[in-house]
Amino acid sequence: MKKLVIVVHPHMEESKVHRTWKEELLKLNDPDITVHDIYEAYPDGVIDVEAEQRLVEKHDCIVFQFPVYWYSSPALLKQWEDEVLAPGWAYPGKYALEGKYITCAVSTAGSNDDYSKHGKAGYTVDEVLLPYRLTASFIHAVYRPSFTWYSAEGISPEHLKDSVPAYISFLRSIQ
């Protein structure tokens, strides 16, 4: 199964988690995993929609990798969705992502307890990511359970090191 990991972090040089995940995925040199950093590809914010659509069409699974910002994604991912998942291509008619898997791999500053009904957020990460599940359904894709790494803000080297094999295992488990 060919997986497209769309990495979305506006300040990659400052990121510990997403920079590490991206670097480790690239080191794998796995022909079935394509790592695509859209802030790196589009620093001016002008997305090449046709190129993105062609890239998506070559993969069976799309993984959106990003930090949860204000209970959402970084702005360029929303722009990517608005422009790339266009009418006539993603819906209705062609449904170019029909049957493809969509999932998210996210980090949060808050803890697992923070992202609970009785925590600071009052909602789980799965609830925060509900728009991705709904989008997948709307475009006839299949949403897969997400991967979350909690307490990423001020992450210790040990905790960061633990995140890498967990993330790679998650990606490889998507079948």
Domain ranges of the chain: 3-173
Query: Residue 87 — φ and ψ, nearest 5°?
Result: -60, 140
Instruction: Convert the pLDDT of each residue in 94-111 to its tens digit.
Output: 999 999 999 999 999 999
Task: Examine the pLDDT at 93 and tell me if it is beyond 90.
Answer: no
Q: What CATH superfamily is the domain 3-173?
A: Flavodoxin domain (3.40.50.360)
155 in Cβ contact with 110 (< 8 Å): no
Mean pLDDT of 52-72: 98
Task: Examine the pLDDT at 31 and tell me if it is beyond 90.
Answer: yes
Instruction: Convert the pLDDT of each residue in 125-170 to its tens digit.
Output: 999 999 999 999 999 999 999 999 999 999 999 999 999 999 999 9
Pairing of strands 101-107, 147-149: parallel
Task: Examine the pLDDT at 91 and tell me if it is beyond 90.
Answer: yes
132 in Cβ contact with 104 (< 8 Å): yes
107 Cβ neighbours under 8 A, 6+ residues apart: 17, 18, 67, 68, 148, 149, 150, 152
Distance CA 101, CA 175 (A): 9
Rg (CA), the chain: 16
pLDDT of residue 72: 97
CA angle (136 as vertex; 120, 43 as ends), nearest 5: 75
